[in-house]
Structure 1
Amino acid sequence: MGIGNIFRAFQPKDKIFFDLFERIADTLIDMSKTFHEGLLEFDVNDESMLNQMSDYEHKMDDLTHEVFVQLGENFITPFDREDISQLAAGLDDIADYIYASAKYIYLYKTPENKVYSEFSLLIYKSCVELKKAIENLKDFKNPNEVKESCIKINSYENIADDVLSQATVKLFETNDAILIIKQKSILDYLEVVTDKAEDVANIMESIVIKYA
């Protein structure tokens, strides 16, 4: 019996961890979609999108906490406890930085920058692939699909790096020191979201290598 089959044989019957991770992934998709759509029709005087981001961030905190509660209550886990912990924390980081990005966009009240929505689209696409990867990670049935989603997430992060570089060059050409400080901070937060998504992809790829 292969190591993957051994782990499947001892998985909790209720699959509580995978259920939680799927709920977390669904929340990230909803959060990133709302964020992207909010930036496409951005109004600095309408804080409804920021409030929604705060609500999603709190929901993610609750779901992440539940993962750790289940770690304390379940002796048998679908894969290594440290990997579960890192995966949960990594997914929560994505939500934290989406919320931070939204917060500073509103706090700084800088002129609309279409680059923000370019980042938010990459973030949304990354979250969609994270959901696919988590679904395919369940029971280790589709390791190749997990790897494919991870490759796409890595490619989105590379695109985000290019978007940041190009946006930074244009920003410095304005010679507006205050604008540069504010928008560069926002751009950095947005780019970090894609870094965090790549971190999660790397964790899942590592899990597949270990157990699939």
Structure 2
Amino acid sequence: MGIGNIFHAFQPKDKIFFVLFEKVTENLVAMSEDFNNGIKDFDLNDDTMLKRMSDYEHKNDELTHEIFVELGKNFITPFDREDIHTLATGLDDIADYIYASTKYIFLYKSPEMKAYSDFSLLIHKACLEIQNAMKNLKGFKNMDQVKEACIKVNSIENIADDLLSNSMVDLFETNDAINIIKVSSVLNYLEIVTDKAEDVANTIENIMIKYA
């Protein structure tokens, strides 16, 4: 066995989880950035954006599966196994609902609304804060930054709640029943993304309380 392999054999096995979570958050940040940019210049006749979101969603599925495989292989984990599972599932939900939002915009041929771009920007900001929280959670050394990032995610979710309410009011004033059904469905999917981001922030805060 080479010296590199010997060194690797004695490395803490729990480090793999932080590596994988960092890959997941990197994927979510890239996905949400592409989503935000794509919404700004949206074309219902061009499904390039939908395909990109599908690719990101599949990559997230693969990383989530990898986390679960490592969870089954490793006895030593950086925090509770249940928390690892909850965190991985929550992060995967964010990717699932970003993709679902994109898919239903295309399926419904949903007309463009300013609220879509407002939501997409909030989603991107939430993913950036989650990435920041996960980076600082490593080693449990920068808990102030973790807490601040989680608070920002919670604030973003509150803004998204208000955005949904105000957008629905404007939507119903159009008196276009078919349009209301289409757009309201998309708006709800977009708002759920921020709900899932808040769920992840809450999971991170629970981990921080237990182990910091």
Scaled to the shorter chain, the TM-score interval is: over 0.9
Give the Cα separation in 2 of the matches to 1:156 and 1:198: 8
**TM-score (ref. length: structure 2):** 0.94
What residue in structure 1 maps to residue 42 of structure 2? Answer: 42
1:127-166 residue pairs with structure 2 within 5 A? 127-166=127-166
**Root-mean-square deviation (CA), in Å?**
1.0
Identity %: 68
Say if 1:29 and 1:127, in contact at 8 Å, map to a contact too: yes
Deviation string for 1:127-149 (max 9, x for gaps)? Answer: 00000000000010111111100
Deviation at 1:12, TM superposition (A): 2.5
Give the Cα separation in 2 of the matches to 1:186 and 1:167: 11
What residue in structure 2 maps to residue 61 of structure 1? Answer: 61
What residue in structure 2 maps to residue 83 of structure 1? Answer: 83
> Could you tell me which amino acid in structure 2 is paired with residue 188 of structure 1?
N
Deviation at 1:13, TM superposition (A): 4.8
Residue 195, structure 1, aligned to residue 163, structure 2: no
**TM-score (ref. length: structure 1):** 0.94
Say if 1:97 and 1:193, in contact at 8 Å, map to a contact too: yes
DSSP 3-state at the match of 2:110: coil
DSSP 3-state at the match of 1:43: coil
Give the Cα separation in 2 of the matches to 1:84 and 1:172: 42
What residue in structure 2 maps to residue 169 of structure 1? Answer: 169
> Could you tell me which amino acid in structure 2 is paired with residue 194 of structure 1?
T
Deviation at 1:110, TM superposition (A): 2.1
Deviation at 1:194, TM superposition (A): 0.1
Deviating beyond 2 angstroms after TM superposition, the runs of 4 or more aligned structure 1 residues are 11-14
Question: Structure 2: where are the runs of 5+ without partners?
Answer: 1-10
> Could you tell me which amino acid in structure 1 is paired with residue 201 of structure 2?
A
Aligned residues: 202
Question: Structure 1: where are the runs of 5+ without partners?
Answer: 1-10
> Could you tell me which amino acid in structure 2 is paired with residue 178 of structure 1?
I
Give the Cα separation in 2 of the matches to 1:168 and 1:91: 27
Give the Cα separation in 2 of the matches to 1:125 and 1:93: 16
Deviation string for 1:50-97 (max 9, x for gaps)? Answer: 000000000000000000000000000000000000000000000000
Give the Cα separation in 2 of the matches to 1:78 and 1:150: 19
Give the Cα separation in 2 of the matches to 1:134 and 1:17: 11
What residue in structure 1 maps to residue 71 of structure 2? Answer: 71
